[in-house]
């Protein structure tokens, strides 16, 4: 018997909408080659954008399990942000080519995409931004 996670999907979307802010998610195409015999000639596609609500949380090196062996915070680490976005609010999963454009015009590159996915249902994505 499968568990229905829809209640948690709805709760995540509600909380992120309440405490988050609207940003633009710019999706950059992968540009596969139009001709496989000439892979250096990529098909030109334009980026697409969508407005989404995300929660920004200051990332702390000590709180990220994959970085526990790193040295104390440096200038590089001070630029990290953790961003949480409800999966239901996206047209497709974010990837490392995508960019976040904040309302003040600052651009963030996605460094990691970590879904909270119990079973087959994605509740939200935690994105590390730099």
> Is this structure's pTM higher than 0.95?
no
For residue 99, what is the enclosing H or E element? strand 99-101
- How much is the pLDDT for 42? 64
Torsion over CA: 26, 95, 115, 68 (sign): negative
Q: Is residue 59 part of a domain?
A: yes
What residues have CB less than 8 Å from 99, skipping those under 6 apart? 25, 26, 28, 107, 108, 109, 110
Q: Is residue 1 part of a domain?
A: no
Residue 128, pLDDT > 60, answer yes
Q: Is residue 10 part of a domain?
A: yes
* pLDDT tens for each residue of 63-111: 554 444 444 444 444 557 899 999 999 999 999 999 999 989 999 999 9
Q: Is residue 37 part of a domain?
A: no
**87 or 28: which leads in pLDDT:** 87
- How much is the pLDDT for 68? 41
Q: Is residue 23 part of a domain?
A: yes
Q: Is residue 36 part of a domain?
A: no
Tell me the average pLDDT across 46-74.
68
Q: Which domain holds residue 17?
A: 6-30+43-129
Residue 126, pLDDT > 90, answer yes
Q: How far apart are CA 104 and CA 23, in angstroms?
A: 9
CATH of residue 90's domain is: 2.40.10
Residue 62, pLDDT > 70, answer no
- How much is the pLDDT for 124? 96
* pLDDT band of 52, cuts 50, 70, 90: very high
Q: Is residue 38 part of a domain?
A: no
With b meaning 16 or more CB within 10 Å and e meaning fewer, what string describes 49-74?
eeebbbbbeebeeeebeeeeeeeeee
Domains in the chain, number:
1
Tokens linked to 44: 């030109």
* pLDDT tens for each residue of 101-114: 998 999 999 999 99
């Amino acid at each position: 018997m499968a568990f229905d996670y829809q209640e948690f999907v709805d709760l995540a979307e509600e909380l992120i909408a309440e405490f988050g802010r609207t940003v633009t998610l710019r999706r950059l195409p992968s540009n596969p080659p139009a001709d496989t015999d000439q892979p250096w000639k990529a098909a030109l596609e334009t980026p697409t954008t969508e407005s989404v609500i995300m929660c920004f949380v200051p990332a702390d090196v000590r709180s990220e399990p994959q970085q526990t062996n790193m040295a104390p915070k440096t200038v590089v680490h001070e630029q990290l942000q953790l961003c949480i976005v409800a999966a239901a609010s996206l047209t497709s999963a974010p990837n490392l080519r995508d960019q976040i454009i904040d309302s003040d015009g600052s651009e963030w590159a996605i460094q990691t995409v970590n879904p909270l996915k119990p079973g087959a249902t994605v509740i939200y994505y935690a994105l590390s931004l730099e």
